[in-house]
Amino acid sequence: MTSIELYYCPRACSQVTMTALEMAGLAYDDRLINIFEGEQKSAEYRKVHRSGKVPALIVDGVPITENASILTMLDAMAPDAGILPGTDTPLEKAAQRSDLVWCSATLHPIVRQIRMPIRYTDGETDGIYANGTAQLKDALREVEERVSDGNWFYGDEPSIVDVYLHWLVTTAASAGFPIQEFPAIVEHSARVEEMPAFRRAMARQAEGVKNSGFQFPQ
């Protein structure tokens, strides 16, 4: 039996990974890493994730990091779970991986400019915030079109890309991004929150917060 352990932090992008695990129906243990208190920077955790970030997944003793890689692997482990649309075409699989990397390597840093612009400078942050806002607005025009009329990112069925997009836009919105300018995305985010796997992941995170005494920063 495969041994799986997830290192996560509430409100971080690791909730996307936890949702994928719930979609896959795989048994896993979880360990809350309080990134707000700097636990991810400890020497012990650096042995799990060399960059000191979440998520990290330990599969049969082997650490796997970076969301795009983790999500691709979970899709391969549970190919019928709908983490990504089923296909036997290498070109379509490559396109799906491209979408995951787009979320993690392009949109994610843009959202970080909005949510935590101070990470990009030791001076003023207004320009960084404004630049991130402009970039995200440009990127979300494509998403708005794809999820209009009740569609998911890939059409009729939800996938982990929808969940990742939900995390990105809600995180940006929590920092003042005008998400109301994208009504189809607002409606799409509400539908993601009704996905059974998403609800199970949120409940599991809430239980972890309760059991650990974790406190969100004010």
Q: What is the DSSP string of 3-26?
A: -EEEEE-TTSTHHHHHHHHHHHT-
Does 115 map to a domain?
yes
Cβ burial of 93 (10 Å; 0-12, 13-18, 19+) is: middle
- Identify whether residues 95 and 170 lie together within a single domain: yes
Cβ burial of 67 (10 Å; 0-12, 13-18, 19+) is: buried
- Identify whether residues 170 and 119 lie together within a single domain: yes
Does 163 map to a domain?
yes
Report the C-alpha gap between 10 and 161 in whole angstroms: 19
- Identify whether residues 71 and 130 lie together within a single domain: no
- Tell me the C-alpha to C-alpha distance, in Å, between residue 38 and each of 1, 61, 84, 135: 33, 24, 33, 29
pLDDT confidence tier of residue 28, bands split at 50, 70 and 90: very high
- Identify whether residues 189 and 201 lie together within a single domain: no
- Identify whether residues 182 and 113 lie together within a single domain: yes
- Identify whether residues 75 and 116 lie together within a single domain: no
- Tens of pLDDT, residue by residue over 136-151, are 999 999 999 999 999 9
Q: What is the pLDDT of residue 111?
A: 98
How does the average pLDDT of the chain come out, rounded? 96
SS3 state at 213? coil
- CATH code, domain with 16: 3.40.30.10
